[in-house]
């Protein structure tokens, strides 16, 4: 039996429309991290705590490629 892998490219936004784009293997945990401001950095500084978009992938390389395309 093989384990099913899920990876996500996601976009968080602040009230003033600042965007953050990232990749994670656990969307629920990562969104909770952003909402609680537990992790210092860009999203905490700019208040990006609203999930506005995500896409799910089977392969991490596809999630990373999508992240790079969106950031490009």
Domain boundaries along the sequence of the chain: 7-71
Architecture of the domain defined by 7-71: 3-Layer(aba) Sandwich (3.40)
Rg, C-alpha atoms of the chain:
13
Query: What single-letter DSSP state applies at residue 4?
Result: P
35-70 pLDDT, tens digit per residue, is 998 888 999 999 999 999 999 999 999 999 999 999
Q: 2: pLDDT confidence band, cut at 50, 70 and 90?
A: low
Q: What is the pTM of this model?
A: 0.90
């Amino acid at each position: 039996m093989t384990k099913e892998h899920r990876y996500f490219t996601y976009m968080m936004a602040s009230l003033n429309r600042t965007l953050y784009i990232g990749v994670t293997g656990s969307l629920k945990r990562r969104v909770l991290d952003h909402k609680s401001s537990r992790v210092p950095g860009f999203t905490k500084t700019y208040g990006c705590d609203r999930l506005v978009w995500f896409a799910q992938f089977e392969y991490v390389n596809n999630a990373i490629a999508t992240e790079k395309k969106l950031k490009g």
